[in-house]
Amino acid sequence: MKFQAAISLLSLIAPSLGDQTNNSHPLDGSHRDNRSLINLKPQRTSTRELVSLDGLWNFALAPDGNNTSTWTDPLPKGLECPVPASYNDIFVDRKIHDHVGWVLYQRDVIVPKGWSQERYLVRAEAATHKGRIYVNDRLLVEHVGGYTPFEADITDLVKAGEKFRLTIAVDNELTFQTIPPGQITVGEATGKKTQTYFHDFYNYAGLARSVWLYSVPRQHIQDVTIVTDVQNTAGLINYDVKVSNNTTGEISISVVDEDGTIVANATGAQGTVSIDSVNLWQPGAAYLYQFEVSIVESGETLDTYSIATGVRTVEIRGTQFLINGNPFYFTGFGAHEDTTVRGKGHDQAYMVHDFQLRQWMGANSFRTSHYPYAEEVMDFADRNGIVVIDETAAVGLNIGLTSGTVGEAPSTFSPERINNETREVHAQAIRELVHRDKNHASVVFWSIANEPASNEEGSREYFEPLAKLTRELDPSRPVAFVNVGAADYEKDLISDLFDITCINRYFGWYSQTGDLEEAEAALEAELQGWEQKFNRPIIMTEYGADTVAGLHSVFGLPWSEEFQVDMLDMYHRVFDRTPAMAGEHVWNFADFQTSVGVRRVDGNKKGVFTRDRKPKAAAHSLRKRWTEMGASK
């Protein structure tokens, strides 16, 4: 199946699931059409300006209760919090670390004087998990979903040259109606709120990504959708440009190669441009054209915006995953945005270093487990030829997984737990992910959930419309979800709705613990089961063992570095005799923080690197395997 799209299909229309807008609800109605989509990532061009609002912001836990009227007052002096960063580990204060509810970030901002003819907006790249933007004492926008951007147009509220007080409130609460889901309990003795959740990483919160003030011209480019194809030696770029309602100018397109030469031109909001003797975007060898869109009137450029565009195709043929017609075998890791002190705060130094480590390992890909990563990471993957499986934050739709072994797990899909409202929120998370990341050459398929209870009643009703929605939003990429061990090839109820078999398996760790012979037989049977069920690629999206760096065992016992090496070797033997295997992503790239529980000592230790990015023994054996695989291609 070749995943190419007529661009018109890339609409955001989703009849089966209701409203289709960004989950931002302008609350005063005056400044923004609430059905419009969020703008493209801010960019400095000859017609647009960009002011970073990163740095130290005043910070406070919001006063208790739902009375938000005091939130916009100047915050008491004292705490300053860096942006971008999760706030949890910044302060030496358990109350802040464990806080459940709203926090407030505040700073003064001046709109540049020269912007009097422009429109200008405040944009937060993420507020985990709910965010509100206030200008002075006015609430402008509320956004649900912790890993996608939202923004407020402030043009009509603050004049160019004026200063205003910007407050961003952020709520970290997770319920059965959020993505990811969670549950809040109130202590009987203390009345204190405690957050629990069904996923295995710490609920870091706050403004973990950049905040911007940026300008766009009155007539401006709002959105661009690009789908590429290849015909013989020519590259085709199908495009669709959306502009602001008031636009009277003409749309003009230039495609510029890496040497700065214009290789194609076009006019009009939709169409196809062709590049002769195209340089393809290849895994490990990225080539990016600048797709430059302009609005031109009477010879004057009113707005211009450029998208780095890799020309490539994605196809599934039988059990093969093809990029540009060549079989591609995924090597690499599932990972987390996670570092000490910053939590999930985006950090350029760690981003570059992590890519360097992946490259050193011979890894060609990663999955954005278990939420959309910072947009800078996606841009960097495009530029570095790293292939990405792009995942929503729908992790933990599986109540049984963390219910322990005692007693019956309550059913996941039910009116009191994961219900239709959750599905609406999930649908919106998919819309926002596809909208944000659709133009990234690195993104080769979507994963709409990690380890849902796909063996449980109700899972099919829940997932069928979501799989359909994702295909409608983007027919140019395959759609997958990541399957959990309990929903093996006989018990899973939804895999036929998807294009690829992605499975996480822990034979030898959570089952057959330490017994690699039993584990090998179980893994083999499982892979054969999937292979026989669907004639399509299988990717092992997680496999691994908790490993304490520096712990050694002559017996190769679990938790030792030797065991991690042996266990991964065993998996690889089985993969190498399974024809349908199309990839292997070890869990995890690095050790990461989780909530405190009896199963985790300062976090999850399945990293091939420690949390501070030191290699464990497995890094060397994996490196050998992956670099040899890369070299033999």
Query: Of 49, 142, 292, 451, which residue is the catalytic one?
Result: 451
Q: Which helix (H) or strand (E) holds 431?
A: helix 420-437
Q: How far apart are the first and last CA of the chain?
A: 23
Interaction pattern, residues 349-388, with ligand BDP; x per rule: CB under 6 A: ---------------------x------------------
State the virtual CA torsion across 7, 12, 14, 20 in degrees, nearest 10: 180
Q: Which is nearer to ligand BDP, 199 or 426 (CB)?
A: 199
Instruction: Specify the residue, 456 or 474, whose C-beta has the smaller distance to ligand BDP.
Output: 456
Contacts with 525 (C-beta within 8 Å, 6 or more apart), sequence order: none
Alpha carbon dihedral 507, 513, 514, 518, in 10-degree steps, equals -50
- Residue selected from 606, 607, 616, 619 as contacting ligand BDP according to rule CB under 6 A: 606
- Give the integer Cα–Cα distance in Å for 304 and 194: 48
Residue 172 near residue 129 (C-beta atoms within 8 A):
yes
Nearer to ligand BDP, 481 or 587 (CB): 587
Q: Is 344 or 370 the residue whose CB approaches ligand BDP more closely?
A: 370
Closer to ligand BDP by Cβ: residue 428 or 604? 604
- Applying CB under 6 A, among 150, 222, 604, 616 the residue interacting with ligand BDP is 604
Nearest approach in angstroms of CB 604 to ligand BDP is 5
Choice between 125 and 451, CB closer to ligand BDP: 451
**102 or 202: whose CB is closer to ligand BDP?**
202
Contacts of 259 (CB under 8 A, 6+ apart): none
Quote the CA–CA distance of 97 and 343 in Å, as a whole number: 11
Distance CA 200, CA 395 (A): 9
Non-local CB neighbours of 607 within 8 Å, separated by 6+ positions: 547, 588, 589, 590, 591, 592, 616
When CB distances to ligand BDP are compared, the closest residue is 200
Token duo for residue 597: 């529980």
CA torsion through residues 620, 622, 628, 633, sign: negative
* Residues 104, 62 contacting (CB under 8 angstroms): yes
Of 288, 285, 286, nearest to 237 by C-alpha is 288
User: What minimum distance in Å lies between the beta carbon of 589 and ligand BDP?
Assistant: 12
In terms of CB distance, is 200 or 303 closer to ligand BDP? 200
**Joined tokens for residue 176:** 């059965």
List residues bridging with 615 in a β-sheet: 609
Cβ–Cβ < 8 Å for 443, 479 = no
Residue (23 or 398) nearer to ligand BDP, CB: 398
Beta strands in 217-267 (DSSP E): 221-231, 234-243, 250-256, 262-267
The three-state secondary structure class of 543 is coil
The Cα 162–Cα 470 span in angstroms is 43
Q: Give the one residue of 88, 504, 547, 578 binding ligand BDP; rule: CB under 6 A.
A: 504
- Residue 621 and residue 272: Cα distance in Å, rounded? 46
292 is catalytic: no
Structure tokens, 187: 């202590």
Q: Looking at residues 448 to 487 of the shown chain, list those that interact with ligand BDP (rule: CB under 6 A).
A: 450-451
Among residue numbers 436 through 455, which ones bind ligand BDP (CB under 6 A)?
Answer: 450-451
User: In the bound complex, what is the minimum distance in angstroms from residue 295's beta carbon to ligand BDP?
Assistant: 44
The residue from 118, 125, 432, 542 that is catalytic is 542
Confirm whether 337 is a catalytic residue.
Answer: no
Beta bridge partners of 415: none
* 587 interacts with ligand BDP by CB under 6 A: yes
495 backbone dihedrals φ, ψ, rounded to 5°: -60, -30
Q: Which is nearer to ligand BDP, 486 or 493 (CB)?
A: 486
Restricted to residues 143-202, the positions that interact with ligand BDP (CB under 6 A) are 199-200
| Neighbour-count burial for 396-432, b at 16+ CB within 10 Å, e otherwise | bbbbbbeeeeeeebebbbeeebbeeebbbbbbbbbbb
CB of 509 to ligand BDP, least distance (A): 8
Least Å distance, CB 482 to ligand BDP, is 7
Structure tokens at 447: 């994963």
401's tokens: 């997984």
Count of residues in contact with ligand BDP, rule CB under 6 A: 10
User: Whole-number minimum distance, CB 538 to ligand BDP, in Å?
Assistant: 17
Cβ-contact 311, 281 below 8 angstroms: yes
Instruction: Please state, in angstroms and as integers, the Cα–Cα distance from residue 573 to each residue in 252, 266, 502, 577, 579, following that order.
Output: 54, 52, 18, 7, 12
Beta bridge partners of 60: 104
Min dist. Cβ of residue 451 to ligand BDP (A): 5
**For the window 386-425, what string marks contact with ligand BDP as x by the rule CB under 6 A?**
----------------------------------------
Tell me the closest approach of the beta carbon of residue 193 to ligand BDP, in angstroms.
24
Q: Which of 366, 364, 359 is nearest to 391 (CA)?
A: 366
Instruction: Select from 531, 542, 561, 591 the one that contacts ligand BDP (CB under 6 A).
Output: 542
Of residues 82 and 396, the one with the C-beta less far from ligand BDP? 396
CB of 507 to ligand BDP, least distance (A): 13
Residues lying near ligand BDP in the complex (CB under 6 A): 199-200, 370, 450-451, 504, 542, 587, 604, 606
Q: Which residues are catalytic?
A: 451, 542
